[in-house]
Amino acid sequence: MGLRGSNTPTLSSGQAVRFLVAVIGPTHLAFPALWVRGILTPAETGPEGLVTWANSYYEMTDLAGRLALGRQMVTGETRLVLYGNEAKLRSFTVDKVLGLVDVNRAQIHPLPTQFRGGERDRLLGFFLDATYVALIGNPFWVLEIPVRKNALEAFILQASDRRVGASDSGLRLAPTVLKDVAPVSAGPVR
């Protein structure tokens, strides 16, 4: 099973953002999936943790450390997320990948007003699932490129732009990852 699974979203507003939801420590993080280039197991990295995938070099970043989420232990569920755009490529380790989820734009909440510092650069907001709260990582901050205002708007999918059954994720996944990852939600987007 691929990351897309059989989850076809039902959108009430016609706008959604596709996220890769992962866990680092006790925190569920969501990353706009448009820039996810692949997911590997730690064993698939090169010497000294170097990652070359599809003829591209992904510089390793300690995302858990940058977010002050603590040191990660490598387990059977640990994955390396390859993330990037045309300007920059990075890889970072997560404790577990839950899968892809399409979230209706209306269900994405901004950070509460008490967050006034650097967390506004690191996080774009959050959304609720039945079993967790996912913080949305700012992809520009993750890649260490200039942060944009309204960054999330660049990742909105229009329902009319997608064909039912079409694979549009563009993710290149290692065979060992494909059997482990399932869709986060099989129901319609609320």
Give one DSSP letter per residue of 27-51, joined into a string: EEEEEEGGGEEEEE-GGGS-GGG-E
Beta carbons within 10 angstroms of residue 21's beta carbon: 24
What is the per-residue pLDDT across 59-79, written as a single tens digit (0 to 9) for each?
Answer: 999 999 999 987 778 899 999
75 located within any domain: yes
132 located within any domain: yes
**Cα separation, 71 vs 39, whole angstroms:** 20
187 located within any domain: no
21 located within any domain: yes
Residue 96 is predicted with a pLDDT of 95
- Whether the per-residue pLDDT at 173 is higher than 90: the answer is no
183 located within any domain: no
Backbone φ and ψ of 41, nearest 5°:
-85, 160
Residue 49 is predicted with a pLDDT of 66
* Number of domains present in the structure of the chain: 1
171 located within any domain: yes
Domain of 126, in residue numbers: 15-176
What is the per-residue pLDDT across 106-153, written as a single tens digit (0 to 9) for each?
Answer: 999 998 888 877 888 899 999 999 999 999 999 999 999 988 878 888
Indicate the pLDDT class of residue 46, thresholds 50, 70 and 90. confident
111: left (phi over 0), alpha (psi -120 to 50) or beta: beta
